[in-house]
Amino acid sequence: MAGNRRDFLKLAGLTALGATGASSIKATKADASTGGGHAENSSDGVRLAMVIDLRKFTKNDALIQRCIDACHETHNVPNFENDPKNEIKWIWSDDFETAFHSQEFHFIREDLKEKPTLLLCNHCDNPPCTRVCPTQATWKRESDGIVMMDWHRCIGCRYCVVACPYGSRSFNFKDPRPGIDEITVDYPTRMKGVVEKCTFCEERLARGLEPACVEVCDNDEIIFGDLNDPTSKVRQVLAERMAIRRKAGLGTQPEVYYIIDDPRTLQEVAPAAVVEVAEGGDHA
């Protein structure tokens, strides 16, 4: 037979190239369709999010403590003061500079650097914590995007604590009950050896109530609602104002937004240009 080791090798090489080429193209397409998009999995459903208006919080603001207390009392979160190793927190406050260190606000005024910023679980659209859980004790709820916790199932491996880039998860190194001043009967405590975090007050939402931290605000300092509903308050606010998210560059798609602009400044600078663009859009 003429030749045929060389021909055979050529043919085999081409076939292999064709096969790997086709599969890698497919893989790239799949990546593009799932990555980056917002609420890809449930664009028809509800996607709960929170908007925190940083301008409305000032240093030593009693409101910050009210939000924290409301949450921690509702959910039996222990208070181990002066004991950072055992600290449990669902919602807490830190300097603006610390909270947004990756954004590098280099030269802003000292008082803005120190601006108190409420921090909590971001209920990411692409949560790294749920991927690493070996028992599915934490997972992203399909119906509204809340990153849930099942304390019955948590085995305390703490992978999720490591995976969360926001420090939103706390581990009970010791029995939390001695640290709770007055136990709320309606809500369970946790036990030694489980991880806990904010759940967007899913138990209150189920009864038609707002999250506890939102409820104590009386001037829209914290706004809560459905991102997939264009008429919702969160969407309206996000359309009008400049909002940033913590470590958005990591691709976790956090769902807690922080408004940093002053609405008056926006109105002063932009109106003419905005109207022009809108009209151009209408004609086209």
Partner 1 sequence: MYDAGKIIVGLVVFVVLATSPLWINVLTDEGPEAPTIVYPTNGSTECVESKEFMIPNHMDLLNEWRDEVVRDGTRDYVSTSNGKTFDMSLSRTCMDCHSNKAEFCDACHTYLAVSPYCWDCHVEPKGAN
Q: The tokens 């914590």 sit on which residue?
A: 129
Pairwise CA distance, residues 98 & 182, whole Å: 32
Minimum Å gap between C-beta 248 and partner 1 is: 28
Give just the sign of the alpha carbon dihedral 137, 138, 141, 142: negative
Nearest distance, CB of residue 138 and partner 1, angstroms: 11
Q: Select 196 or 221, whichever has its Cβ closest to partner 1.
A: 196
Please give the residues from 211 up to 250 whose contact with partner 1 meets the rule CB under 8 A: none
Pairing of strands 91-95, 116-120: antiparallel
List C-alpha distances in Å: 175 to 178, 189, 191, 192: 7, 10, 6, 5
Nearest approach in angstroms of CB 48 to partner 1 is: 13
191 is a contact residue toward partner 1 (CB under 8 A): yes
The helix/strand/coil state of 59 is: coil
Taking the CA atoms of the chain, what radius of gyration do you get in angstroms? 24
Residue 158 lies near partner 1 (rule: CB under 8 A): no
190 is a contact residue toward partner 1 (CB under 8 A): yes
Find the part of the chain contacting partner 1 (CB under 8 A) among 37-45, 46-54, 161-169, 186-194: 186-194
Residue 274 burial (CB count, 10 A):
12
Torsion of CA 51, 54, 60, 64, to 10 degrees: 0
Q: Which is nearer to partner 1, 103 or 139 (CB)?
A: 139
Binding pattern to partner 1, positions 42-81, x when CB under 8 A? Answer: ----------------------------------x-----
Cβ distance to partner 1 smaller for residue 199 or 253: 199
Among 1, 2, 62, 206, binds partner 1 (CB under 8 A): 206
State residue 225 phi and psi, 5-degree precision: 175, -165
**Sole binder of partner 1 in the list 130, 189, 252, 253 (CB under 8 A):** 189
- State yes or no: residue 143 binds partner 1 (CB under 8 A): yes
Among residues 41, 86, 184, 236, the one that binds partner 1 under rule CB under 8 A: 184
**Strands 116-120 and 243-244, sheet pairing:** unpaired
The residue range among 47-55, 126-134, 140-148, 235-243 that interacts with partner 1, by the rule CB under 8 A, is: 140-148
Cβ-in-10-Å burial (0-12, 13-18, 19+) of 186 comes to exposed
- Kindly tell me which of 64 and 149 has the beta carbon lying closer to partner 1: 149
Which listed range, 17-25, 53-61, 182-190, 210-218, lies at the site for partner 1 (CB under 8 A)? 182-190
Tokens of 182: 């007055």
C-alpha separations of 60 from 66, 108, 115 in Å: 11, 20, 9
Q: What is the closest distance, in whole angstroms, from the C-beta atom of residue 137 to partner 1 in the complex?
A: 10
Choose which of 31, 40, 83, 186 interacts with partner 1 (CB under 8 A): 186
- Provide the token pair at 125: 């659209």
SS3 9: helix
Binding footprint of partner 1 on the chain (CB under 8 A): 76, 141, 143, 148, 150-152, 183-191, 202, 206
